[in-house]
């Protein structure tokens, strides 16, 4: 194993994962998945509880419950230990990715403050306020970098000419000339 680790710069845990995947599924076990695997809530809870009983390391549970990787089980354990609900996994977009709704600036500030009060637990904010993970993440970054004013939605609003940088003015002029030449 030391030779393989040195030659290919691979972590020993990764090598063990590959070995287990090969033992479970042959060469097919070594191909990267092209889609998400579905796991039921019951299977997740059984695997986590079984692991937390303290009898084995992660690897036997990967085989026993046919879980794709130890990292997947680690993620379930972390979620379970932080008292968050384990849910059925479905193919396609998760609910946290699909949630999109219009929000006011006051709501955005409230959501960001909630997220920050909970040590940047974006997923908790997503579940509490029914907005997307990406929205919460971006709002937190904007607030930290530029303050609450940065949370204002300015889409569709044009800047006044005196607010434009030289580069923006040149781009606008190029766009105008391009449109003029198109006719």
Tokens describing residue 17: 């994962």
Closest listed residue to residue 68, CA positions, set 21, 109, 112: 21
The widest CA-to-CA distance across the chain, in whole angstroms, is 76
Tokens 């637990």 label which residue?
121
Distance (Å, rounded) from C-alpha 26 to C-alpha 22?
Answer: 4
Instruction: Read off the pLDDT of residues 31-62 as tens digits, 9 standing for 90 and up.
Output: 765 556 788 888 888 888 888 888 667 777 77
Domain boundary among 40, 56, 81: 81
Distances (CA, A) of 51 to 42, 48, 74, 177: 14, 5, 10, 66
pTM: 0.39
Residue 20 sits in which domain range? 2-81
Has residue 88 been placed in a domain?
no
When divided into structural domains, the chain yields a total of 2
Residue 130 has pLDDT above 50, yes or no: yes
Q: Are residues 128 and 183 in the same domain?
A: yes
Q: Are residues 117 and 65 in the same domain?
A: no
């Amino acid at each position: 194993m030391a030779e393989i680790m040195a030659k290919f710069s691979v972590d020993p845990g990764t090598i063990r994962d590959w070995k287990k995947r090969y033992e479970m599924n042959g060469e097919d076990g070594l191909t990267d998945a092209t889609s998400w695997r579905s796991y039921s809530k019951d299977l997740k809870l059984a695997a986590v509880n079984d692991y937390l009983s303290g009898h084995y390391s992660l690897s036997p549970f990967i085989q026993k419950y046919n879980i794709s990787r130890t990292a997947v089980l680690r993620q379930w354990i972390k979620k379970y230990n932080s008292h968050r609900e384990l849910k059925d996994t479905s193919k396609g977009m998760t609910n946290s990715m699909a949630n999109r709704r219009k929000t006011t600036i006051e709501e955005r500030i409230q959501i960001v403050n909630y997220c920050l009060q909970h040590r940047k637990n974006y997923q908790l904010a997503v579940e509490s306020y029914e907005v997307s993970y990406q929205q919460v993440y971006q709002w937190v970054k904007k607030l930290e970098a530029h303050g609450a004013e940065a949370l204002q939605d300015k889409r569709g609003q044009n800047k006044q000419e005196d607010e434009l940088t030289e580069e923006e003015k040149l781009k606008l002029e190029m766009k105008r000339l391009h449109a003029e030449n198109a006719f």
